[in-house]
Amino acid sequence: MWINGSTHAGSGAEREVVNPATGAVVDTTTDATPDDVDAAVEAATTAAAEWAATDVTARAKLLRTLADALADNSDELVATLVAEQGKPLLEANGEFHHMLSGLRYYAESATKVRGVHQELPSQFGPAYGLVKRHPFGVVGAIMPWNFPLTLLANKLGPALAAGNTVVAKPAETTPLATLQVARIATEAGLPDGVFNVVTGGGETGGALVGHPDVPRIAFTGSTATGRTLMETAGPALKHVSLELGGSDPTIVLPDADLETAVKTIQIGRYWNAGQVCLAPKRAFVHADVFDQFVELLSGRIERYEPGDGTTKPDKPKLRIGPLHTAAQRDLLVDQVADAVDAGAELVTGGHVVEGDGHFYQPGLAVDVPDDSRLSTEEVFGPVLPVWSVDSLDEAIERANATAYGLGSSIWTTDGTAINRAVNELDAGMTWVNQLHYGYDEMPFGGTKQSGLGKEHGLEALAEYSRYKSSVIGGLG
Ligand code: NAD
């Protein structure tokens, strides 16, 4: 744990952090008990008034200094990310740089947001209105294990820039890089108590969410946990943002640049061993190009060689890391078996790789029944179901037939089809002829069961502020 600028032993049970690629124990942590959570919240509460009163330019400067200090320690942080999460070095580096760019974005934008002043018509005489931004105080930030660093930065950057202090709880399986960030932040000059970390699982997270002195909760994780969390936060009417699961549709029409679509969908679906919230997880491909699409994509994903992320396969193989835990891999195995039992065909891959580590050969499935788990549930692993569709109408209807609404994409050069996708796909984001991770500049967040609120962009800065309106009259 990291509380008030120094390491804190904690009093809960010990927990091993295990490398998913090798099974080796990387380190151990201690679960935070409710008393430990109290200590972290107290430190954050004590630091809150001075941090809020610190000039925004000074807060922005500290965020920039933090990003620079993290960059100076990139080797240590990236190595930890590979060891505790399992992702290959290339992907860990990508995540690390995304974290830095997110922190720098909020260091830049913190000073660019202005208050609003307006003249107000009033029967009581001339008056003007003033809308001021105030921080909430202490933010409880809870992260999953798939992108421990970027998902931390998505909350830490705007929360600190807006003048809040933070108690972060990383996933129980990936706490180490987050603890290193907290240590580096303190060494870089972030005042004690401004950024604290408590380690542990759902009980620790629940204690943080239910703490009476934590008015703002920022959560990324599964839809099921998001629902439980709302039950804890609801009675106190806390301000909650939820970034939850997704099952993004991708639509490929006959006039698309098929090679680009295939290459990009491949990266989108199989990056991070398919453990990505914003990823194409259901492909609807027009019948005219369906066979070609399946052949091109399966040819490319056959090049994946699952293995330890610290080593590199020989060309033309591509390294793909393990599933993060045995339970995560078992879930995927069950989802694929359910579809195959109901008549689906695996064109390639889609099976466990025997040996140490939770490796899985990336797969592509066709003829997947609409009511099978591969179609209805979020698939958090490297398997893509591909369906043939006869029209854009059918593609949009099937794309929207899901409880989720995180991302979506379409591949076409037809302006009318693009316009329809942008207007009719029920999701927080629609990509056209490209896919990307979250843009720092673009607000990101889901509809339906994929969440509430936004991360990224100036919208996220707003979500870490309480807006207070004042009317000033009696001036003449
Ligand atoms: P999870 O919900 O199991 O755990 C997420 C975090 O919540 C962990 O830190 C966990 O310890 C904590 N937690 C568990 N129970 C809790 C409780 N009752 N109260 C408070 N905290 C609690 O999710 P996961 O398996 O770690 O992550 C995978 C999920 O996250 C997928 O569904 C994925 O789509 C989603 N995700 C969403 C986004 C997004 O931006 N929308 C990004 C990444 C991952």
pLDDT for the residue 314: 85
User: For residue 178, what is the enclosing H or E element?
Assistant: helix 176-187
**Are both 235 and 369 inside the same structural domain?**
no
Of 169, 196, 163, the residue nearest 63 (C-alpha): 163
Secondary structure class of 351 (helix, strand, coil): strand
Q: What is the pLDDT of residues 178-190, one digit of tens each?
A: 999 999 999 999 9
Asked whether residue 339 is domain-assigned, the answer is yes
Domain that includes residue 421, residue range: 248-438
Q: Are residues 179 and 302 in the same domain?
A: no
pLDDT of residue 293 exceeding 90? yes
Q: Are 261 and 225 contained in the same domain?
A: no
289 and 358, same structural domain?
Answer: yes
The catalytically annotated residue of 277, 377, 378, 463 is: 277
Task: Considering only residues 132 and 78, tell me which one the structure prediction assigns the higher pLDDT.
Answer: 78
Concerning whether 259 is annotated as a catalytic residue, the answer is: no
Residues 6+ apart with CB under 8 A from 69: 184, 185, 187, 188
Structure confidence at residue 476 (pLDDT): 67
365 and 232 in a common domain:
no
**Same-domain pairing of 111 and 206:** yes
277 is catalytic: yes
Residue 279: inside a domain, yes or no? Answer: yes
The maximal CA–CA distance of the chain, rounded, in angstroms, is 82
Q: Which residue has the higher pLDDT, 363 or 9?
A: 363
Give pLDDT, residue 436: 78
Report the candidate in 180, 161, 148 with the shortest Cα–Cα distance to residue 63.
161
Claim to verify: residue 42 and residue 188 sit in the same structural domain? yes
The CATH number that applies at residue 9 is 3.40.605.10
Domain contains 413: yes
Question: Considering the domain boundaries, does residue 141 fall inside one?
Answer: yes
48 C-beta neighbours (distance < 10 Å), count: 21
Least confidently predicted of 26-30, 42-46, 317-321, 375-379: 317-321
Determine the Cα–Cα distance for residues 413 and 390; give it in Å rounded to an integer: 17
pLDDT for 119: 74
Number of domains in the chain: 2
| Same domain assignment for residues 11 and 148 | yes
Closest residue by Cα to atom 40, ligand 1, is 243
Considering the domain boundaries, does residue 444 fall inside one? Answer: no
For the Cβ of 202 lying below 6 angstroms from any atom of ligand 1, the answer is: yes
Does 337 have pLDDT greater than 70? yes
Answer yes or no: are the C-beta atoms of 306 and 321 closer than 8 Å: yes
Which atom, in ligand 1's list, is nearest to the CA of 208? 20
Secondary structure letter of residue 102 according to DSSP: H
97 CB contacts (<8 Å, ≥6 apart)? Answer: none
Q: How confident is the model at residue 63 (pLDDT cuts 50, 70, 90)?
A: very high
| pLDDT tens-digit map of 428-450 | 999 999 997 678 999 999 999 99
Which protein residue's CA is at the shortest distance from atom 37 of ligand 1?
244
Pair 240, 252 in one domain: no
Residue 291 pLDDT? 98
In a domain, 445, yes or no: no
**Among 79, 80, 78, 87, CA closest to 20:** 87
Same structural domain, 252 and 234: no
User: Per residue in 7-28, is it b (16+ CB within 10 Å) or e — as a string?
Assistant: ebebebeebebbbbbeeeebee
Verify that 197 and 216 share a domain, yes or no.
yes
Q: CATH code at 317?
A: 3.40.309.10
Residue 317 counted as domain residue: yes
Q: Is residue 51 part of a domain?
A: yes
Pocket test of ligand 1: the residue of 99, 151, 204, 222 to mutate, having most ligand atoms within 8 Å of its CB, is 222
Which residue owns the Cα nearest ligand 1 atom 30? 221
- Whether residues 355 and 459 fall in one domain: no
